[in-house]
């Protein structure tokens, strides 16, 4: 065996990836070649050094919590009403216990009817689909004056379009979508690497408070104002999405562009 | 478009979640470790893992293999490169040519064998200096203890490529970690 071959094969030897014949050949070579033997000794030293446990980067707790169901919750609780229970639980002194048994990602924060859940599910599923290639945007523009007219004639209402770049949520485009049996306008915003989908469609229902749902790392916020129903979906954290909704609502309070 | 709402996976959420937790979640540390070493930044790594886990969950139904760890690590790797392609400007990407990045000729001078700095700090710095194609193989090999075959499967490369890149990675590390007495400490071009 030549040094050139040995230079490559000694790594495979170190990693125990050689067959018996090759192993014999490389050990023979190293017996006769001090340079390769010295080199091998260095790599053994390096290999051992790489085994130091602090080099291994374990997942931070925050990340882990988003995905883990605590052991007690063997059967995940779906749509568990909490608002009423928390007071009760705290009175009974086991609020901590309640938090432990509630898997974050199945936790529905507020009591709701079945169809509200359905909209949240649909919204998440629509968001996921929109993330697949070519689905995200029909009109690509960071200009609200381009995005808004694009919807004209495609919907029987005029959606509220606002660029929130100054708030850290730049508008990047929009598309038509369907949700809860309606044709809806979907506006696409960015938050760093993340995408936020904001769905809106007209509804006669009275302005309502925000309704927040978590599902496997996605947050869905649903609310109604000025005869419009809004659903915001994203994998950004809940605080960011709340901030987004706040920014959008603040903006919408100004006279909407007609 | 409304028609395919029926095909969404939400009906069997609970089952899927349980299977996912048992089959994939145990490899969250492995996923983060790889993402962290590729991204070299905690927040970016968390973004990569979050996105990778969502992808994994989305495609979980189509996973019929036996090794969920290898499957997840491949997703993490792809996610990292696709997010990176989206965010970094064109031209920022390092191109890696296996023929150009040839094995540096070592100058065997056994009489003056250098000491290697093997403390965690030096190792960390040296590892972060490696180009991505070399860093991923050495991390998968040494920290994840993957076999060559597993690395080949995760990175979509031939076993021969894995072997030569691993050799190259170790040679670069050795050069980087060799403690030189003089101020003329050599830095490899990245």
ipTM of the complex: 0.81
Contacts of A66 in chain B (CB under 8 A): 50
Q: Tell me: do B77 and B122 sit in the same domain.
A: no
Choose the weakest-confidence range: A25-34, B59-68, B135-144.
Answer: B59-68
Residue B36: pLDDT band with limits 50, 70, 90: very high
- The pLDDT value given to residue B88: 66
Residue B170: which CATH number? 1.10.10.10
- pTM of the entire predicted model: 0.55
pLDDT confidence band for B164 (50 / 70 / 90): very high
Residue of B nearest to A34 (CA): B110
User: Are residues B82 and B120 both part of a single domain?
Assistant: no
Beta carbons of A242 and A251 less than 8 angstroms apart: no
Using CB atoms within 10 A of its CB, is residue B43 exposed (0-12), middle (13-18) or buried (19+)? exposed
Across A131-140, A223-232, B23-32, least confident range: A131-140
Which of B33, B49, B141 minimises the CB distance to A56? B33
Q: What integer is the mean pLDDT of A25-50? A: 93
Cβ atoms of B144 and B73 closer than 8 Å: yes
Please answer whether residues B133 and B122 qualify as being in contact, where contact means their C-beta atoms are separated by less than 8 angstroms.
no
Domain count, chain B: 2
Summarised one tens digit per residue, pLDDT across range A114-141 is 455 677 777 887 777 777 655 677 777 7
Bigger pLDDT: B171 vs A193: B171
Asked whether residue A87 carries a pLDDT value surpassing 60, the answer given is no
**Beta-carbon-side half-sphere exposure of residue B34 (alpha carbons within 13 Å):** 33
The domain in which residue B44 lies consists of 12-87
Cα(A142)–Cα(A187) distance, integer angstroms? 11
3-state SS assignment for residue A152: strand
Chain B residues closer than 8 Å to A218 by CB = 54
Whether the pLDDT of residue B137 is over 90: the answer is: yes
Q: Which chain A residues contact residue B47 at CB under 8 A?
A: 192-194
Binary contact (A128, B33; C-beta < 8 A): no
What is chain A's mean pLDDT, rounded?
A: 77
CA distance B79 to B84: 8
Residues 89-148 of A with CB under 8 A from B: 105-106, 121-122, 125, 128-129
User: Is the pLDDT reported for residue B142 higher than 90?
Assistant: yes
- Please give the C-alpha separations between residue B105 and each of A40, B12, B102, B108, B171, in angstroms, as whole numbers: 15, 58, 9, 9, 10
Average pLDDT over residues B88-100: 59
Q: What DSSP designation does A255 have?
A: P
Final residue of a structural domain among B72, B87, B102:
B87
What is the predicted pLDDT for the residue at A81?
Answer: 37
d(CA A178, nearest CA chain B) in Å: 6
Task: Name every chain A residue with its beta carbon within 8 A of the beta carbon of B116.
Answer: 42, 45-46, 49
Is the pLDDT assigned to residue B187 strictly greater than 90?
Answer: no
Q: Between A and B, how many residue pairs show a Cβ–Cβ distance under 8 A?
A: 136
Q: Do A58 and B2 touch (CB under 8 A)?
A: no
Mean pLDDT of B59-78: 90
Q: In sequence order, which ranges of chain A are alpha helices (DSSP H)?
A: 3-14, 20-32, 34-49, 61-67, 83-92, 95-101, 114-131, 144-150, 238-253
The verdict on a CB contact (< 8 Å) between A59 and B29 is: yes
Spatial separation of the C-alpha atoms in residues B78 and B73, rounded to whole Å: 9
Question: CA distances (Å), B62 to each of B6, B55, B75, B176, in order?
Answer: 18, 11, 13, 43
Nearest CB neighbour to A216, from listed B57, B124, B138: B57
Residues 6+ apart with CB under 8 A from A59: B28, B29, B31, B32, B49
Mean pLDDT of B2-25: 63
Q: Which of B2, B57, B177 sits opposite A178 (nearest CB)?
A: B2
B58–A121 C-beta distance less than 8 A: no
* % of chain A at pLDDT higher than 90: 29
Instruction: Determine contact, residues A203/A212, Cβ cutoff 8 Å.
Output: no
* Confidence bin at B89 (pLDDT 50/70/90): low
Interatomic CA distance for residues B110 and A132, integer angstroms: 57
Among residues A203, A201, A135, which one has the least CA distance to residue A173? A135
CB contact under 8 A, B29 and A54: no
| Predicted local confidence at residue B8, as pLDDT | 41
Task: Tell me the percentage of chain B whose pLDDT exceeds 70.
Answer: 73
Write the CA distances from B88 to A14, A64, A170, A245, B93, integer angstroms.
37, 27, 18, 28, 8
Q: Do A8 and B28 touch (CB under 8 A)?
A: no
Asked if residue B101 belongs to a domain, the reply is no
Residue A132 CB: number of other CB atoms within 10 A?
9
Size of chain B, expressed as the number of residues it contains: 190
Instruction: State which residue of chain B sits closest to A63, comparing Cα positions.
Output: B46
Per CATH, the number for A112-253 is 3.30.200.100
**Chain B within 8 Å of A70 (Cβ-Cβ)?**
no
Contact A45 B116 (CB under 8 A): yes
Nearest-neighbour CA in chain B from A78: distance (Å): 9
pLDDT at A111 (0 to 100): 37
pLDDT at res. A42: 92
Q: What percent of chain B has pLDDT over 90?
A: 50
- Determine the Cα–Cα distance for residues A124 and A122; give it in Å rounded to an integer: 5
Which token pair is A188?
């696409």
* Residue B69: CATH number of its domain: 1.10.1740.10
Task: Decide if B49 and A63 are in contact by the 8 Å CB cutoff.
Answer: yes
Instruction: Mean pLDDT check: name the lowest of A222-236, B4-18, B29-43, B128-142.
Output: B4-18
| pLDDT at A175 > cutoff 90 | no
Chain B CB within 8 Å of residue A71 CB: no
Q: Is residue B125 domain-resident?
A: yes
Distance CA B171, CA B54 (A): 36
> Which candidate, A36, A102, A193, A159, places its Cα nearest to that of B54?
A193
CA distance A45 to A236: 43
Of A178, A193, A218, the CB nearest to B47: A193
Are B31 and A60 in contact (CB < 8 Å)?
no
């Amino acid at each position: 065996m030549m040094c050139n071959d040995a230079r490559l094969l000694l790594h495979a030897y170190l990693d125990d990836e050689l067959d018996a014949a090759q192993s014999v050949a490389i050990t023979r070579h190293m017996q006769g070649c001090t340079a390769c033997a010295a080199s091998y000794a260095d790599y053994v030293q390096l290999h051992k050094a790489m085994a130091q446990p602090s080099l291994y980067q374990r997942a931070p707790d925050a990340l882990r919590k988003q995905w883990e169901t605590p052991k007690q919750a063997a059967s995940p609780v779906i749509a568990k009403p909490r608002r009423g229970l928390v007071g009760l639980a705290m009175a009974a002194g086991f609020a901590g216990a309640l938090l432990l048994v509630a898997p974050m990602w199945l936790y529905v924060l507020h009591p709701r009817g079945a169809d509200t859940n359905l909209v949240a599910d649909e919204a998440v599923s629509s968001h996921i689909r929109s993330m697949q290639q070519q689905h995200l945007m029909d009109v690509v523009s960071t200009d609200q004056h381009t995005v808004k007219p694009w919807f004209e004639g495609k919907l029987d209402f005029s959606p509220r379009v606002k660029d929130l770049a100054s708030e850290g949520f730049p508008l990047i485009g929009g598309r038509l979508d369907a949700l809860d049996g309606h044709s809806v306008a979907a506006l696409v915003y960015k938050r760093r690497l993340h995408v936020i989908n904001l769905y809106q469609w007209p509804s006669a229902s009275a302005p309502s408070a925000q309704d927040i749902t978590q599902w496997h790392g996605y947050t869905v916020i649903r609310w109604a104002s000025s005869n419009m129903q809004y659903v915001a979906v994203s994998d950004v954290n809940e605080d960011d999405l709340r901030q987004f909704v706040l920014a959008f609502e603040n903006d919408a309070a100004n006279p909407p562009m007609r | 478009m409304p028609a395919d709402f029926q095909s969404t996976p939400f009906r069997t959420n609970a089952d899927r979640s349980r299977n996912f937790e048992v089959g994939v979640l145990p490899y969250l540390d492995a996923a983060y470790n790889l993402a962290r070493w590729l991204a070299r930044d905690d927040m970016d790594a968390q973004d990569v893992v979050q996105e990778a886990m969502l992808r994994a969950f989305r495609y979980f139904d189509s996973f019929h293999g036996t090794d969920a760890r290898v499957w997840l690590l491949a997703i993490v790797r792809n996610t990292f490169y696709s997010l990176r392609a989206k965010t970094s400007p064109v031209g920022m990407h390092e191109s890696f040519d296996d023929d150009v990045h040839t094995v540096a000729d070592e100058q065997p001078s056994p009489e003056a064998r250098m000491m290697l700095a093997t403390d965690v700090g030096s190792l960390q710095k040296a590892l972060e200096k490696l180009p991505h194609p070399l860093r991923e193989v050495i991390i998968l090999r040494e920290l994840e203890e993957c076999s060559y075959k597993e690395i080949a499967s995760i990175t979509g490369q031939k076993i021969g490529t894995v072997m030569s890149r691993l050799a190259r990675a170790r040679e670069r590390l050795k050069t980087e970690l060799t403690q030189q007495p003089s101020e003329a400490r050599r830095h490899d071009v990245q």
